[in-house]
């Protein structure tokens, strides 16, 4: 990534996301929205998929957005953004766009990206629209009351993967969305966590600049208070532990090269990661995990790191 902001003092101060929205107290996605809107700057159009963010920030007649913003449906934010991007291009060519170099940004949740939105995302990536797609991942369909999505981790409790006597939590592993996106050979894709703001905003700005070349993608980890079942003051702590335990590594895919970002760049060595239990046990959705199940998750995590390290060497 290009380092636009070196220290916290360099960060933009102007709030471009108004308070008074209806997001839960302590919402990880709210932190993400504040920093996304600040970093992309006022000259951008936002296309948002249906979800927690959309519903809590646009209760008619109020809106938290200071940007030009459109919500259409659940599965099509990438297609809508493709249309906006094409319109700006066409209107500029005809001398009819008066706002200069306007960027187009998608904000969508995991439901609207991994599952129902996967097709339109893939289409947008394949067509190489100059759009920055930002995924805020709270690992379930949270807006409808915590149902599992393709992004929900294995064994996690949700209302559609409850912990019962016969089945305990989600059966399948979490889908690798970064793998799917990078398979489209986009110029830039990166993971970020709301606990590492400097890393996140530098990635947002880098990704935004790279939209000159094609589509870019950001996978932001955004913990959810009611969905993950933890007290609302722990959001940043959990987002930090996710990275420190190696569960959610921070990395970038920059023009075909995978690069791990601090502190994840040290975590190839398993001994440098914090024990996974520290991350899991803080969350009620994992409270039922047995030692055996935790060991299974650790094994899968090690395999994932093995895979990442091979990609990093390519």
Partner 1 sequence: MCERMPHQGYRDGAGGSMMQKTKLVEALTGNYAAAYAVKASDVDVIAVYPITPQTTIVEKLSEFVANGELNAELIHVESEHSALSAVVGASAAGARVFTATSSQGLELAHENLHIASGIRLPIVMAVPARALSAPISIHNDYGDVMNARDTGWIIYIVASAQEVYDTIIQAYRVAETANLPAMVAYDGFLVSHTVEPVELNDEEEVRKFLPRPQRPYTLNPKRPVTMGPLASPDWYYEFKYQQATALREAYKLVKDVDALYGEKFGRSYGVVETYRMEDADYAVVTYGGAAYGNAKAAADMARERGIAAGVVRVRLYRPFPTMDLLKALEGVKAFAVLDRAIMFGSPAEGPLYKDVATAMFMHGVDKPAVSVIHGIGQRTMYVEDMYKIYTMLKERPNKEVVFMGVRP
Partner 2 sequence: MSNLPRASELPIGAVIPEPGSTRRNKTAGWRTLKPVIHDDRCVRCQLCWLYCPEGTIVEIKGVFKVNGRTYDTKYEINYDHCKGCGICANECPTKAIEMVPEAP
- By three-state DSSP, how is residue 239 classified? helix
Q: Is 295 left (phi over 0), alpha (psi -120 to 50) or beta?
A: alpha
> In terms of Cα–Cα distance, which of 28, 36, 115, 133 is closest to 78?
133
Q: Tokens 């791990």 belong to which residue?
A: 260
- Which of partner 2, partner 1, none interacts with 165 (beta carbon under 5 to 8 A by kind)? none
The residue from 21, 148, 174, 205 that contacts partner 2 (CB under 8 A) is: 21
- Which of partner 2, partner 1, none interacts with 232 (beta carbon under 5 to 8 A by kind)? partner 2
Sequence-distant (≥ 6) Cβ neighbours of residue 31 within 8 angstroms:
194, 197, 222, 235, 236
User: What's 229-294 look like in SS3?
Assistant: CCCHHHHHHHHHHHHHCCCCCCEEEECCEEEECCCHHHCCCHHHCCCHHHHHCCCHHHCCCCHHHH
Residue 57 touches partner 2, criterion: CB under 8 A: yes
Site for partner 2 in 218-237 (CB under 8 A): 225, 231-237
Q: Which residues bind partner 1 (CB under 8 A)?
A: 42-45, 47, 54-55, 58-61, 63, 65-73, 75-76, 79-84, 86-91, 93-94, 96-99, 102, 119-120, 122-123, 126-127
- Shorter beta-carbon distance to partner 1: residue 42 or 145: 42
The residue from 61, 95, 100, 164 that contacts partner 2 (CB under 8 A) is: 61
- Shorter beta-carbon distance to partner 2: residue 32 or 177: 32
- Shorter beta-carbon distance to partner 1: residue 25 or 96: 96
- Shorter beta-carbon distance to partner 2: residue 194 or 260: 194
CA 241 to chain centre: 16
Residue 250 touches partner 2, criterion: CB under 8 A: no
């Amino acid at each position: 990534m290009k380092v636009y902001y070196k220290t916290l003092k360099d960060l933009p101060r102007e709030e471009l996301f108004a308070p008074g929205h209806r997001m839960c107290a302590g919402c990880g996605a709210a932190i993400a929205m504040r920093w996304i809107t600040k970093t992309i700057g006022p000259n951008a159009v936002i296309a948002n998929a249906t979800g927690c963010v959309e519903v809590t920030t646009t209760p008619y007649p109020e809106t938290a957005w200071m940007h030009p913003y459109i919500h259409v449906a659940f599965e099509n934010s990438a297609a809508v953004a493709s249309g906006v991007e094409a319109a700006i291009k066409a209107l500029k060519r005809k001398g009819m766009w008066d706002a200069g170099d306007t960027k187009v940004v998608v904000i969508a949740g995991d439901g609207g990206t991994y599952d129902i939105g996967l097709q339109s995302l893939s289409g947008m990536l394949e067509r190489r629209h100059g759009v920055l797609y930002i995924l805020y991942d709270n690992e379930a369909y949270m807006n409808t009351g915590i149902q599992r999505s393709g992004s929900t981790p294995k064994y996690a409790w949700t209302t559609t993967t409850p912990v019962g006597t016969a089945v305990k939590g989600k059966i399948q592993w979490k889908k690798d969305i970064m793998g799917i996106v990078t398979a489209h050979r986009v110029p830039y894709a990166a993971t970020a966590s709301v606990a590492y703001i400097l890393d996140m905003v530098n990635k947002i700005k880098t990704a935004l600049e790279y939209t000159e070349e094609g589509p870019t993608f950001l996978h932001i980890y955004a913990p959810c208070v009611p969905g993950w079942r933890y007290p609302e003051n722990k959001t940043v702590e959990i987002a930090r532990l996710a990275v420190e335990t190696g569960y959610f590594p921070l990395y970038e895919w920059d023009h075909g090269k995978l690069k791990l970002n601090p502190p994840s760049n040290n975590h190839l060595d398993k001994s440098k990661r914090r024990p996974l239990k520290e991350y899991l046990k803080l969350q009620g959705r994992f409270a039922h995990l047995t030692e055996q199940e935790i060991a299974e998750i650790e094994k899968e995590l090690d395999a994932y790191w093995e895979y990442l390290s091979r990609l990093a060497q390519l």
